[in-house]
Structure 1
Amino acid sequence: MDAAEYGAVRHSKIHPRFLNTNSTSHKWAFGAIAELLDNAADASASQAIMEMRVFEVPGGSDGSGTEPLEALIIMDNGTGVDREQMHRLLSFGHSEKAALLLAQQNGERDVAADHKPIGRYGNGFKSSSMRLGRDALVLSKTKEFCTVGLLSQSFLESVDADDVLVPIVSWRHGKDERGEDTYELLPDIKDGEAEQSLAIISKHSIFSSAEEIMGQFMPIGDTGTLIIMTRLRGFDTGALELDYRSTPEDIVLHDPTAEDGVFQKERHNQRAGSKIKLDYSLRAYLTYLYKVPRMQIYLQGAKVKTRRMTGMLSSRHIETYKPNFVAEPATIQIGFSESQHEYGMMIYHRNRLIKPYVRVGIQNDPDERGMGVLGIVEADFLQPTHNKQDFDDSRTHYRTLLKKCAETLKSFWWDNVERGEAEAAEEEAAGALFSGQRRTRKRKAPMMDRWIQCDFPECLKWRKVPANYDLEPYKDGTTPWYCQYHPDPAWANHDVPEEQELVEP
């Protein structure tokens, strides 16, 4: 029977307080930001711009003046959403990611061949936006429509709502004879819907008129989405959790209980005084968020210099792991990292970082074994939890993978470190070495793929360059690099397909 036949049965409602309760699944603010960037990537965005800034909004003791309101803004150039898609975005349990993946597999949607959407619960936008701020204004532009929607705890509390109301207004946009933008309000689905929705958005957002709202579509470009989150989360001291003032071109996670004022996750065997930068620096986290980045990200006005993760490994060893319960094997790539204090397994799902710096095997022992060794693991067979910061381990698949990573690490450490130490000890015992010349480490000749990404927005392909190619001018991301700079003419063209990474052991 169809659900419509049960019209007499009561419907379950979601109380507005659930917006805050639901947001607590994100213990870490950067995880919430990553969810919003995932949505941009799934919408085929090649660029995302993120910044925090201050708006002046009506306020003051008598309401006649203005007061500052800080906001977190994320804008992308993806495909955008129309009125019905906006409603699903602001509702619970509606996800188009599975259908998107199927359309991609059937060749019905033009997206990067290696991009697979990771969302599936239809909860990501709600939980992440409400984790960062109490109110979220969403403006989205498709090739035909401009749509604005508001998810606001402030509004719902002010009207004592017992259900989640999401005001949405949509216009058909075009050009007139003079080439100027035109906006035609779409007819109501319900009588008075557009008028009421526009009145709510004008009163409870940072824009107080339809003209102001429509003016925000211009920076978006041809298509894309702009999210403005306000009434951001802070502490009793008045300080915001997201600190954009202390560090230029970055957003730092503030922790008033920490001695230095910045957040740090607890990790086993982390040396005192050493910190993992991606725990508290958004710029550092975004550098590693995608194993093979396909989107340019700008933070506080400066481009994030993304890295191809496997290009960070020297003496790289590759191993595949295929338990009998999966169709496709996981790839474990392991090698020496650039920093001895940043080590562990970086575990990705569908190109997205889920668990950074997971210590396995000998890395958990109270000595220095395994320090400085980084693993890059692509585990698409695992299922992330709904906040995408951990894995569902109800069937022990995750623990089984960690066991395999521990075995791979132990073997790598023996081949690259302990074997050399054992040989040196034998030589020393035989009198072949003088005192003080004992080798403490033997590493194989470094094997490090050197990759650089083309900065042309319509390309963004990764190119492998020779070991003697000078990458220093492009290291900080301020100087663009393009395919035509490649020293090998065979790769010096945007139309040449990207070289495949060696992943066979």
Structure 2
Amino acid sequence: MLEHARVHPKFLHSNATSHKWAFGAIAELLDNAVDEIQNGATFVKIDKIDIAKNNSPALVFQDDGAGMDPNGIRKCMSLGYSSKKSNTTIGQYGNGFKTSTMRLGADAIVFSRSTRSGKATQSVGLLSYTFLRRTGQDDVIVPMIDIDISKERPQPIIYGSSEDWSTNLDILLKWSPFSTKDELFQQFDDIGTHGTKVIIYNLWLNDEGIYELSFDDDDEDIRLRDESVHDGKRVHAKELERRSHISYHLRYSLRAYTSMLYLEKFKNFKIILRGIPVKQFNIADEFRYPEIIKYRPQIATIEQATTEIKVGFIKEAPKLPVCGYNVYHKNRLIRPFWKVTMDGSALGNGVVGVLEANFIEPAHDKQDFERSSLFQRLEARLKKIIYDYWSSHSHVFGYRTPQMPADKSKRIPIPDQPPTVNTFNPFPSPSSQGGPVIREINISNATSVRTVAAPPPHMRNSTGVRNNFQPVQLTPQPAVTDTRNKHVGKSVEEISQENIQLFMKCEEYVKKETEMEQTVRNLEKELEEAKSKCAQLAMLVDAKKKEMQQV
């Protein structure tokens, strides 16, 4: 007879560390509820309750989905099993419930009601790290009880013996937040005929011995503690303004994070946080001068991989230096405000994009993507879209786009003719445009995108590329066009491709420059340490010489 694979209780704790961010763990539990929309779920509630046993807070997640029968709850609370076969569901690995609950607290108890094939059941399961640790278990044991509620009087569902059922009930009462059988079964009262409730208790503390999640700062929210707010340091007005934006706020406010967690707005489903529905928010709805770029990666094995990338200025531009992409996968936010441009550069300030990238795979914690070749190509394309958009629109706020320095050795031949003067297009507001500008990009035709100029060397300093986009007074000039000699010297496509390559090289040089500067600083530090040691040794030698002379 083959033995089953044992999983030590310590694995529960170590496995939960895949979630570095507490809100990422909460999002996993919300995903389970959202996946139940296809089964008729209309809400998921997130709230805080107080445990009477030890007067401590606990997290509650409750939905009105189809619920789990005895077989379903066992699959849910086992490791590495997923019954989700649909490509539209968010969870695929079957490990999210365990990692997320154990990331938030030491213990979790699950209540679920469902009806399958005309049989109504209710089940209770306990995943308790505290129980396993204190009883010295070397295997993960999950106490569960099931009850048939199809008939007038509920009947326990017995698999082995009635003593086994009673033993499981006793463990539940001893290690759960509920001391009596009545208290335990009262948790089903607000579930109704179908649904699931998860209570996570013995919540984790931070290094200072304070609960990681804060329930007292805002009665309508659950927050993570922002250390910069409590450090007592004076905050400048610009920093306060930056912190007021959702790109900062979502890192510490669950309400802000969940408002952006799903791309498409729900029609008949609500996320209710501490009794108040969360208002869904898509930052693309507020874009100024929006554009839509269709991106089509070359993937022979994936049909309909084309995605729309919406890009535009945030409404607070140009005051707030927010830049990046909100990247979704199967409607779920994976990377919020992903900055693809270089740090310290003003290029792209205020430009934000939104896209759903179902052709790349998210990491197991759903807070990043796997570093595949598809991901790398997408990153390069998103970077270029930011640069192209900036070069075409930055004049709206009085910024001047840097131009490539003239290369006298490779100058394009131009015949003796009247010059062509290009003027900036005065982009109207979105309301007057009648909709965003739409462009199409095929990864196999990179030259179909507008060109972007690299920063010239004279606009750089020793610390890299400067914030070299300075406000200028624009004086629109009438456009003068010349239809003669359209094809002179290099083609637009060739110039476009050359510009892209030059810009990429510029970025590589800046990166190398930063690395070299760090190396120089490290060497200078080592040199100072060596000089200090030499001085100490010289003093020791002098002291020894004096001792020898005295002798």
What TM-score results when the alignment is normalised by the length of structure 1?
0.72
Match of 1:230 in 2: 201
How many angstroms apart in 2 are the aligned matches of 1:216 and 1:376? 41
- The aligned runs of 1:235-250 (5 Å cut-off) are 235-250=206-221
Q: Which amino acid aligns with 2:225?
A: H
Match of 1:305 in 2: 279
Match of 1:469 in 2: none
Q: Which ranges in structure 1 are unaligned for 5 or more consecutive residues? A: 1-6, 58-66, 102-115, 177-181, 263-270, 426-438, 451-505
How many angstroms apart in 2 are the aligned matches of 1:162 and 1:197? 18
Match of 1:414 in 2: 391
CA distances 1:369-392 after superposition (whole Å, capped 9, x unpaired): 312221111000111111111111
- The aligned runs of 1:88-487 (5 Å cut-off) are 88-97=75-84, 99-101=85-87, 116-143=88-115, 144-174=120-150, 176=152, 182-189=153-160, 192-255=163-226, 258-261=227-230, 272-273=239-240, 274-275=242-243, 276-294=248-266, 295-325=269-299, 326-327=302-303, 328-340=305-317, 341=320, 342-361=322-341, 364=342, 366-393=344-371, 395-418=372-395, 443-447=427-431
Q: Which residue, 35, 43, 48 being the options, matches 2:44?
A: 48
SS in 2 for 1:95: coil
How many angstroms apart in 2 are the aligned matches of 1:190 and 1:440? 82
SS in 1 for 2:154: strand
SS in 1 for 2:142: coil
Between 411-420 and 73-82, report the one with greater CA deviation: 411-420
SS in 1 for 2:352: strand
How many angstroms apart in 2 are the aligned matches of 1:424 and 1:122? 49
Q: Which amino acid aligns with 2:48?
A: M
How many angstroms apart in 2 are the aligned matches of 1:129 and 1:420? 47
User: When you count helix as a share of all residues, which structure comes out higher?
Assistant: 2
Q: Which amino acid aligns with 1:138?
A: V
Match of 2:69 in 1: 82
Cα gap change, 1:412/1:208 in structure 2, threshold over 3 Å: closer, same or farther? Answer: same
Q: CA RMSD in A?
A: 2.7
How many angstroms apart in 1 are the aligned matches of 2:313 and 2:396? 16
How many angstroms apart in 2 are the aligned matches of 1:356 and 1:130? 24
SS in 2 for 1:386: coil
How many angstroms apart in 2 are the aligned matches of 1:386 and 1:210? 37
Cα gap change, 1:75/1:239 in structure 2, threshold over 3 Å: closer, same or farther? Answer: same
Stretches (4+) displaced over 6 A: 422-425
CA contact (8 A) 2:106 2:203 kept: yes
Q: Which ranges in structure 2 are unaligned for 5 or more consecutive residues? A: 232-237, 403-422, 436-551
How many angstroms apart in 2 are the aligned matches of 1:389 and 1:131? 14
Q: Which residue, 18, 21, 25 being the options, matches 2:18?
A: 25
How much has 1:308 moved relative to structure 2?
Answer: 4.0
How many angstroms apart in 2 are the aligned matches of 1:192 and 1:141? 23
Cα gap change, 1:446/1:207 in structure 2, threshold over 3 Å: closer, same or farther? Answer: same
Residue 71 in structure 1 maps to residue 58 in structure 2 = yes
How many angstroms apart in 2 are the aligned matches of 1:130 and 1:423? 52
CA contact (8 A) 2:396 2:427 kept: no
SS in 1 for 2:229: coil
How much has 1:11 moved relative to structure 2?
Answer: 3.7
How much has 1:220 moved relative to structure 2?
Answer: 1.3
Percent identical pairs in the alignment equals 35
Q: Which amino acid aligns with 1:310?
A: A
Cα gap change, 1:163/1:261 in structure 2, threshold over 3 Å: closer, same or farther? Answer: farther
Q: Which amino acid aligns with 1:48?
A: V
How many angstroms apart in 1 are the aligned matches of 2:434 and 2:221? 28
How much has 1:286 moved relative to structure 2?
Answer: 0.5
